[in-house]
Structure 1
Amino acid sequence: MKNKAINIMTKALKLPFTPREISSAYIYIGLLYSELKMYKEASHNFHKGMTIVECEEFQYSPHFKKIIKVFIKNGDLEKSNFLAR
């Protein structure tokens, strides 16, 4: 089911959404990949999602801890430090 959800979310990203909605979609896809233990794909999607809103102020999310852990597992320390600051 998670793979199906990833495919649906990826197709939905082709629709006209706001940058915040697109960011949320990439982060959700990353969470699904992390649950599948596909950390490289998860990290890639987290980075895409966070980059879209990096100039905006965003509220804390409990998912940030998971995102940081995935970045660390991939050796993406620069990305994890960006989120942790």
Structure 2
Amino acid sequence: MLTRIVKLSFKTAHINAFQQIFDASHSLIRDFEGCLSLELLQDVSQPNIFFTYSQWQSEDHLNAYRNSEVFKSIWGQTKILFKDKPEAWSVVKLR
């Protein structure tokens, strides 16, 4: 199992737009083959910073999603709202 954490920083004026995109896309991502879970987290002290936390059966499943039309559509809507470049980590649980 692979966990994917993505840090997303938005322009303050675009927070609501991003949340609407996420709400509309959540089930598409969650239902994608290999996706085990998906959460959206918001920084407590900087409300324009969000994290997506998703779990995938494998890196191949994550890469299939990242190369899909679903991802391209969601990412195309989202990336224009960014304040800073997103950061991403793929991690595995050791203990």
Q: One fold, TM greater than 0.5?
A: no
Which structure has the greater CA radius of gyration?
Answer: 2
For normalisation by structure 1, the TM-score amounts to 0.31
Which is bigger in relative contact order (C-alpha 8 A, separation at least 6)?
Answer: 2
- Normalized per residue, which structure has more strand? 2
